[in-house]
Amino acid sequence: MTVHHHLDDASIMRYASGDFDEAFAVVVASHLAMCPEGREAVRAAESLGGAVLEASEGTPLSAGAFDRLSRMLDVEPEAPPPPEPVSGDVPLPLSRLIGDNLHDVPWRTIVPGMQRHRIDIASTTSSLYMLKVAPGKKMPEHGHGGAEMTLILEGSYSDVFGRFAAGDIADLDEHVEHEPIVDSDVDCICLIASEHPTRFKGLISRILQPFIGI
């Protein structure tokens, strides 16, 4: 898999500092699971975190801090379970939430040619969901109410920014408007984190929004 669309550098820094909420962390981590170049980019940003830590003054610890810890050192917990194999096309961070098969999730049709699966997370600031859109279909035209990230898991779409295929991430800020059209032979399945409910622009879309909830 060759990934052509990557994270914005500001998002790489944000991920490295640990500041994304759960929805965005899952989308970014799933992208990174599919993109070695992205992992390298994140590691560079994390090395900056390491340098900041090293350069900091620190606060003296209370007396006996190491002794307290050293009592724990001989208690070896059972060996950590080996990382679960990633079967199918589901990246590890996402497979924890939906299982190992993209097609097995409980899809709900929201309009003909478009299905959605909302993923339950505790996050209060953003929502996380998957969309499955049929070939040739347009996603509804929308401007973004807040930051949004879309990771392509299968199939592809095109919009003004180019063609997005599996592993590609569309890391868009709130001012962007786009109109993706699915251009693959198969359904395009994406994972989306969205900061606020997306505002659809067309009247029909606005009327539909409360019902389809994206």
Q: Which residues bind another protein (CB under 8 A)?
A: 8-10, 12-14, 16-19, 21-22, 25-26, 28-30, 32-33, 36, 39-63, 65-66, 68-70, 72-73, 76-77, 80, 83, 92-93, 96, 122-123
Helix (H) or strand (E) holding 108: strand 108-111
3-state secondary structure of 182: strand
Say if CB 213 and CB 205 are below 8 A apart. Answer: no
Q: How many residues does the chain have?
A: 214
CB of 169 to another protein, least distance (A): 14
- Using the minimum distance from each CB to another protein, give the nearer residue, 44 or 204: 44
CB of 57 to another protein, least distance (A): 6
- Using the minimum distance from each CB to another protein, give the nearer residue, 36 or 213: 36
- Using the minimum distance from each CB to another protein, give the nearer residue, 97 or 111: 97
3-state secondary structure of 100: coil
Strand partners, 199: 143
- Using the minimum distance from each CB to another protein, give the nearer residue, 80 or 112: 80
CB atoms within 10 A of CB 200: 18
